[in-house]
Amino acid sequence: MVILALWLAFPFLQTDVDAQDAIPFVAAGELVRDRSDAVYPRPETPTSWTLDRRFVEQGCRSVPDGATCDVLPFLSPPVALPLAWLAGVLGPTFGVLAFRLIGCLAAAGGVGLLLRRFDRAAAPALLVSAILLTPMVYVSSAAGQTSSLLFASVTLGIATSDRTRPAALAALVWAGAIAFKLFPLGLVPVALVARRWRLLAWAAASIAALAAAALVLAPVEVWSAFTGSTRSITATTVTSEFNLSIDAMVHRVAPSWNGTSSWFVPAVALRALLLAGLFAWRMRRADPDIQWAWAWVALLLVQPQVWWHYSIVVVGALAVGVAYRRDHPSDRWLVAGAAGAALALTVFTDQVVLLVIANAFAFAVLAYLTVLCAAPTARPATDDVVERPR
């Protein structure tokens, strides 16, 4: 598809654009071996933090000429440090390019996986969807974002991960998402319910390998530095104008609501418990791919930090559900509508509008999956299946 080829060309057309989300990885990778104490921001108060001067200096090396240097903190868990180190070895130019390529490859690969789920009659709806997603892919690529890995994980699914090769691929994508974002670790219970033991084994091995490499690169103190910085940064990002989570919406009504509020953690835990109860009630016997897609959307409703580019995950989850309902071909145009919602979250600027669209979008897709796609699976639910030739 020409649209997907265009997506893969984006990284090579953005050399003069500030990749603000990739720069912290390159800076962390350049510092991790000799200046690991400068990788994570230092908390000053429960709601404030500061970047090390050396981190800022390294980050500014990656900023294109003429652009304002405003370096963001490194927020990923220490298991991402080996990947950051590789980016640091590549240097500012090629390290940023690598992150942009990862993002675009994952986005194009995710759409390619969707094409395999649908019949040819769905091609027009998927083409319109890809066109509507193009601005989001371009902007997230320009920033050096890796959120499309989440999209790839959704569209890949876990239904076939009771076999070795699909399990390894699904696990590598999922492990990459965990390394960069951490919160996809919350999908472990879904894999357990679906009894995807090979997926879990491959994912655990991947994360363990990254953790071991991180311990080789940097002292164990980086783990406590990550924990300390996460607390203060969570408190401030809840109030960020770019945050589109439920907690950000509550903050608009109650300004004191942030990561330091006494009821903040219990409220997040309560949301998680309510959604877990809904899963147990409606989704326990659903197709594993539907369970996986449902859980990705649910995670975004639990997360206190949700950025606009995460909406591509919701598009993918809806597409998986629509593909599952093969006897309802008219639903395929819902995917284009979802891509339109993602486009709105890319181009609109008013935070109230963005908050309403983002949360209504996520709740609507969760409802679609819960009500219309929760039929019992026809696929084997255990590993007792006939192995296909490899």
Q: Answer yes or no: is 104 within a domain.
A: yes
- Name the pTM for this structure: 0.92
Mean pLDDT of 306-331: 93
Q: Answer yes or no: is 86 within a domain.
A: yes
Range of the domain at 99: 2-372
* Euclidean distance between CA atoms 282 and 328, whole angstroms: 20
Q: Answer yes or no: is 384 within a domain.
A: no
Q: Answer yes or no: is 209 within a domain.
A: yes
pLDDT of 47: 65
Query: Does pLDDT of 255 surpass 60?
Result: yes
Q: Answer yes or no: is 378 within a domain.
A: no
Q: Specify the number of domains making up the chain.
A: 1
pLDDT of 376: 66
The string of pLDDT tens digits covering residues 264-318 is 889 999 999 999 999 999 999 999 999 999 999 999 999 999 999 999 999 999 9
Query: Does pLDDT of 389 surpass 70?
Result: no
The string of pLDDT tens digits covering residues 31-90 is 999 898 889 988 776 667 788 889 898 888 888 877 778 888 998 999 999 999 999 999
* Euclidean distance between CA atoms 235 and 233, whole angstroms: 5
The string of pLDDT tens digits covering residues 84-132 is 999 999 999 999 999 999 999 999 999 999 999 998 889 999 999 999 9
Q: Confidence class of residue 377 from pLDDT cuts 50, 70 and 90?
A: low
Contact 335/352 with Cβ under 8 angstroms? no
Nearest Cα residue to 151 out of 29, 318, 326, 285: 318
Contact 144/127 with Cβ under 8 angstroms? no
3-state secondary structure of 49: strand
Query: Does pLDDT of 381 surpass 60?
Result: no
Q: Answer yes or no: is 318 within a domain.
A: yes
pLDDT of 331: 92
- 97 φψ region: left (φ > 0), alpha (ψ -120 to 50), beta (else): alpha
Q: Please report, rounded to a whole number, the percentage of residues in the chain having pLDDT higher than 90.
A: 69
Phi, psi of 26 (to 5 degrees): -65, -45
pLDDT of 246: 94
The string of pLDDT tens digits covering residues 183-210 is 999 999 999 999 999 999 999 999 999 9
Q: Answer yes or no: is 377 within a domain.
A: no
Q: Answer yes or no: is 379 within a domain.
A: no
Query: Does pLDDT of 388 surpass 50?
Result: no
Query: Does pLDDT of 367 surpass 70?
Result: yes
Query: Does pLDDT of 374 surpass 50?
Result: yes
Please indicate whether residue 55 or residue 390 has the higher confidence score (pLDDT).
Answer: 55
Q: What does the DSSP 8-state code read for residue 283?
A: I
pLDDT of 383: 42
* Euclidean distance between CA atoms 285 and 249, whole angstroms: 33
Phi, psi of 42 (to 5 degrees): -95, 125
